[in-house]
Structure 1
Amino acid sequence: MDSLSNLIHCCDEMPSDGVSICWGPARFGSEDLGWCLVIERVATEDDLQVNQYLEEVGDTLWTTAVEIKCCPYCGVGLTDARSVMSSEDFGYFIHIDSSGWLGRRC
């Protein structure tokens, strides 16, 4: 995987904002590489009015990353997904809440 087009999956079925599918280091404390579905919610003008910790429109409120083997939107298998014999060691996820003064990892 040496070109940027091989590191990002895009399809017509994906939402245009807030969702990406990318290849890279797993965000789960392991050294593995893999495909992740990343969903992100960013601040709007309304969010700035109700949350004193936000400074600008576009600040990240929360991010969720899920380890995947295929695109949940179009169904295509993602090449070189971390091959694991046991399904017990696949499907890690992380949720990072950045909406407060202290960010939280869940």
Structure 2
Amino acid sequence: MKKIVLICIAMVASYAAKCQKVFSVDYESQADVKVFVVNYESQADLKVFKVKYESQAGPNDGKWFFTNYASQAKKKIYFVRYESQADLKVFFVNYESQAGWRNSSKQHLLY
């Protein structure tokens, strides 16, 4: 019985570690990934849906949970002013079902 409980805890912990928890930093030098928000969905590498709860965040599928502290986040992002400065271009969508990668070659940035 103890083994089953431990296995369940390990599975939940491993899933939580893969969630897209992000924190928006104030300075470019603090960031893991530099992000530019585009005006049109067709320009984006990733379509992002901002979830309300940590448990709703996906493993790397565009469902982002913004944490209150940098230490809680898996990735620290910095929103740049110009597209040419960005590692990743995102478009914020209104519905969870719209979230996802348009350019899968950039997926490695959020692992």
TM-score (normalised: structure 1): 0.23
Answer 1 or 2: which has greater helix percent: 2
Query: RCO (CA 8 Å, sep 6+): is it higher in 1 or 2?
Result: 2
TM-score (normalised: structure 2): 0.22
